[in-house]
Amino acid sequence: MTTLFLLADAWPRALRCAPALAPSTRSCLLWCVLSFLLLAAAPPRALAGAGAPGMGAESAAGALFERYDSGDQYDMKPITVSQLEDQLRRPELQASAGKGSIAVLYPKVSEPFRSAFIGMIQGIEERTHLRVRSYAVDARVDALELNAQLKRSGTRVVIALGRQGLNVAASLDRSIVVLVGGALLLSDAEIVNLNGISLTPDPALLFARLRALLPETRRVIVVYDPKKTEWLLRIAREAAREQGLELASFEARDLAQAAQVYSAQFAAADSRRDAVWLPHDTTTVEEGTLLPLILKQAWDSGVPIFSSNVLHVKKGALFAMSPNNVELGRSLASSAEGAIAGELKKGVQPLRELHTAINLRTASHVGLTIGHQQQRTFDLIYPEP
């Protein structure tokens, strides 16, 4: 495979020179390229068994090429010089030649978290034509050795997945562009000087789904800690205006203050026109004590709540959104290729590659009927059928 990568950098120069060469020389050059491709791509056992015992390397290679040329065993058709030229001009090969590689740093974690990161890596590999090398990292990683590996492999962009991937990427050589993905970023201090995609769902998509389900809704209530979620509220205010919604935001800097604000807002809310949004905020959506209180007040008042955390749907939120990991990976790959082309999109963007979940029991409780056709627009349904 290394031979293929080296050849990918060299063949465009050879191909540009080919038209100026004599036909016989040009054919020889192109067949040399094909020879390298075949030898590099062939499995070791194919090379080992290409000829009879004791056969020399030249004869074995000749037997191997004969198999390829005849299509025997490898199910391949013979190829002409002109066909080879066409193959080497393929846009994806031209795009990848000489552009270096992408490295992915992802946390060394167990299931089910590992599967989420593997899904992101799958999406990255599917979208880009550049080489992708993945490294599972933890707090014990040798940053100097990792830097050396990345330089040897010609890494141009690092995609840092998860909190651990981001922590390790912070110690990398500054000549390597770093994109963050698959991590919750909870404060202005954390997102400064970072580029990439957060795991926080885009409020615009949450609000659009709310209006589709409850078109009479006019106001969204949100309680937030400004030290953690102010950057997201800036985005949310603009998204609410575009959806024709009023975003009523209330600050709370600790759990006790948040509990007081929720109680006052649920008591004053109009269940026909108001809804409560639960963002990713560890102060105002604390899972142990505060969330059960919020869910009970919502149920008793009939005020619908929706969330940025899909786990809340199982507990009683009307709907929520969760990452589509493969699509997130594809978006990160596109951003990485843009960075290599000098078109880096600055800043951290909220997540737009999402799955949506709904709780049918809660929907019924707030007077909402979700028919079978509408249910098909959701990726997850609770209670599970």
**Could you please report the per-residue DSSP string of 91-130?**
HHHHHHTTS-EEEEEEE---TTHHHHHHHHHHHHHHH-SS
Q: Are residues 318 and 332 in the same domain?
A: no
66-109 confidence digits (pLDDT tens): 333 333 333 444 555 555 455 444 444 444 445 678 999 999 99
> What letter represents residue 135's amino acid?
Y
CATH number at residue 179: 3.40.50.2300
Q: Are residues 151 and 109 in the same domain?
A: yes
Q: Are residues 85 and 149 in the same domain?
A: no
Q: Are residues 213 and 227 in the same domain?
A: yes
Secondary structure of residue 196 in the 3-state scheme: strand
Q: Distance of CA 265 to CAs 4, 188, 250, 349, Å?
A: 63, 26, 9, 30
Tokens of 40: 């590099």
Which pLDDT score is estimated for 54?
Answer: 41
Q: Are residues 132 and 187 in the same domain?
A: yes
Which pLDDT score is estimated for 274?
Answer: 98
Q: Distance of CA 230 to CAs 187, 236, 280, 347, Å?
A: 7, 10, 11, 15
Q: Are residues 172 and 216 in the same domain?
A: no
Domain end, chosen from 95, 123, 142, is at 95
Q: Is the pLDDT of residue 64 over 60?
A: no
22-55 confidence digits (pLDDT tens): 555 555 555 555 555 444 444 443 434 444 444 4
Q: Are residues 243 and 126 in the same domain?
A: no
The model's pTM: 0.73
Which pLDDT score is estimated for 187?
Answer: 75
Half-sphere exposure of 207 (CA within 13 A, CB side): 23
Which pLDDT score is estimated for 263?
Answer: 97
Which pLDDT score is estimated for 86?
Answer: 54
Which parts of 53-193 fold into alpha helices (H)?
A: 57-70, 81-88, 91-96, 113-127, 143-152, 162-169, 188-191
Q: Are residues 242 and 376 in the same domain?
A: yes
> What letter represents residue 369's amino acid?
T
- For the ranges 161-170, 189-198, 314-323, the maximum mean pLDDT occurs at 314-323
d(CA 216, CA 194): 38
Q: Comparing C-alpha atoms, which of 5, 17, 234, 258 is closest to residue 130?
A: 5
Q: Are residues 91 and 146 in the same domain?
A: no
Domain range enclosing 118: 101-200+327-351
Q: Are residues 13 and 84 in the same domain?
A: yes
Q: What is the number of domains present in the chain?
A: 3
Which pLDDT score is estimated for 184?
Answer: 87
Q: Are residues 144 and 269 in the same domain?
A: no
Domain end, chosen from 71, 95, 119, is at 95
Domain end, chosen from 95, 112, 139, is at 95
d(CA 144, CA 172): 8
Buried b (16+ CB within 10 A) or exposed e, 45-57: ebbeebbeeeeee
Determine the average pLDDT of the residues in 345-370: 94
pLDDT band at 125 (very low <50, low <70, confident <90, very high): very high
Q: Is the pLDDT of residue 334 over 60?
A: yes
Of the chain, the percentage scoring pLDDT greater than 90 comes to: 60
Determine the average pLDDT of the residues in 146-158: 91
- Rounded to a whole number, what is the largest CA-CA distance in the chain? 90
pLDDT band at 137 (very low <50, low <70, confident <90, very high): very high
Contacts for 39-47 with beta carbons within 8 Å, 24 or more apart?
A: 39/3, 39/64, 40/1, 40/3, 40/4, 40/7, 41/4, 46/73, 46/74
d(CA 248, CA 222): 6
Q: Distance of CA 136 to CAs 146, 160, 162, 168, 181, Å?
A: 11, 10, 11, 11, 15
Query: How many helices, marked H, and strands, marked E, lie in the chain?
Result: 18, 13
Q: Are residues 342 and 366 in the same domain?
A: no
Is 98 or 224 the better-scoring residue by pLDDT? 224
d(CA 182, CA 375): 27
Secondary structure of residue 33 in the 3-state scheme: helix
Q: What is the mean pLDDT of the chain?
A: 81
Determine the average pLDDT of the residues in 307-316: 96
